């Protein structure tokens, strides 16, 4: 089996850019693909072999493909609507790292198989900082041969790779369960900080107390810092958690399983999106609370 020497990274957002740069540092030939010209220029300057808005132009150069887009619709667009899957060399492994349903993962794998392509169902976590450092957490399912083939890319981009099993869809399901926790933690953190604001407790003080006490979580520490700073520049948007917590809800419906906390969190994110904050950082879910003063937020905005 020929060792992978090149990888095409599709989607150069906060996670994809970090993964692509990590692959450059690992010595892989990196081809970066995105519609954002600034992202292409950034990766090109970092040392990518080539960057383009059209991956089909470089399909025959790719030993592997890493797809880091937002949802299943975008995965299908970049792989099939563009003609990329048909243009790739047979047996090219494709890492699908979007947060999608198990059923969507199975359908994408089936369509890739029609083109004699392999798939790793491999959602990721860790945020932009971990992606930039090549230290993402990958929760993946797929054939053992596919794992082995993709070892150079996985080593370049991740500090932890969990092999969930051979069945496509298992990786997607583990990520969905993870997103239940992530969404609830952000919503609970926002609720706590909103209560602190209502009680006229300085939010930087409240943040310092929690991050040095038992109530802390990774999501609280990361996202509530944005609230303290009054900076809602999106790393992950409110609308991402509308999507992800809806995936959680759909999974629960299929399993006939009640999820009271994640349902409440979903309603909070939907309310934030409905209020016009959907494209802001997901910490902006705190803006749904009335009667409080937040750092950097004008009253007219709320």
146-176 confidence digits (pLDDT tens): 999 999 999 999 999 999 999 999 999 999 9
The percent of residues above 70 in pLDDT, for the chain, comes to 98
Q: Is 21's pLDDT higher than 90? A: yes
Q: Once rounded to an integer, what is the mean pLDDT over residues 189-217?
A: 98
Can you tell me the mean pLDDT for 38-59? 97
Q: What is the pLDDT of residue 26?
A: 98
- Please state, in angstroms and rounded to a whole number, the distance separating the CA atoms of residues 127 and 235: 8
Q: Active-site residue 111, yes or no?
A: no
Average pLDDT (291-302) is 82
Catalytic residue among 21, 130, 175, 235: 175
Mean pLDDT of 198-207: 98
Complete domains list, the chain, with CATH: 6-167 (3.40.50.720), 173-301 (1.10.1040.10)
Output the CA angle 91-96-101, nearest 5 degrees: 125
| pLDDT of the residue at 299 | 62
E strands along the chain, which residues?
A: 6-10, 29-33, 50-52, 65-67, 93-96, 118-121, 124-125, 136-141, 158-165
Tell me the residue length of the chain: 302
pLDDT, position 181 = 98
Could you tell me if 12 and 43 are in contact, meaning their C-beta atoms sit under 8 angstroms apart? yes
pTM (predicted TM-score): 0.93
In three-state secondary structure terms, 101 is coil
**pLDDT of 167:** 98
* pLDDT number for residue 14: 87
């Amino acid at each position: 089996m020929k060792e992978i020497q090149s990888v095409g990274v599709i989607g150069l957002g906060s996670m994809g850019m970090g993964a692509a740069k990590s692959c450059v540092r690992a010595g892989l030939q990196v081809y970066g693909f995105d519609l954002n010209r600034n992202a292409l220029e950034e990766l090109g300057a970092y040392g990518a072999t080539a960057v383009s808005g059209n991956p089909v132009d470089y399909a025959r150069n790719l030993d592997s493909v890493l797809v880091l887009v937002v949802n299943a619709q975008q995965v299908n667009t970049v792989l099939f609507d563009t003609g990329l899957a048909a243009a790739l060399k047979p047996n090219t492994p494709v890492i699908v790292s979007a947060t999608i349903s198990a059923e969507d993962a199975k359908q994408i794998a089936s369509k890739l198989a029609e083109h004699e392509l392999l798939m790793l169902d491999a959602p990721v976590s860790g945020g932009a900082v971990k992606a930039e450092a090549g230290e993402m957490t990958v929760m993946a399912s797929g054939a053992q041969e596919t794992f082995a083939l993709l070892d150079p890319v996985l080593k370049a981009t991740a500090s932890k790779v969990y092999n969930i099993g051979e069945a496509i869809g298992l990786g997607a399901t583990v990520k969905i369960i993870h997103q239940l926790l992530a969404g609830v933690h952000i919503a609970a953190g926002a609720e706590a900080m909103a209560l602190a604001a209502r009680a006229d407790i300085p939010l930087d003080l409240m943040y310092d107390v929690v991050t040095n006490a038992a109530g802390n979580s990774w999501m609280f520490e990361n996202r509530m810092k944005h609230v303290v700073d009054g900076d809602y520049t999106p790393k992950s948007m409110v609308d991402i958690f509308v999507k992800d917590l809806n995936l959680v809800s759909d999974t629960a419906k299929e399993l006939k399983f009640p999820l009271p906390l994640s349902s409440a969190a979903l309603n909070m994110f939907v309310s934030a999106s409905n209020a016009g904050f959907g494209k802001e950082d997901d910490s902006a879910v705190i803006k749904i609370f009335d009667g409080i003063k937040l750092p950097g937020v004008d009253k007219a905005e709320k």
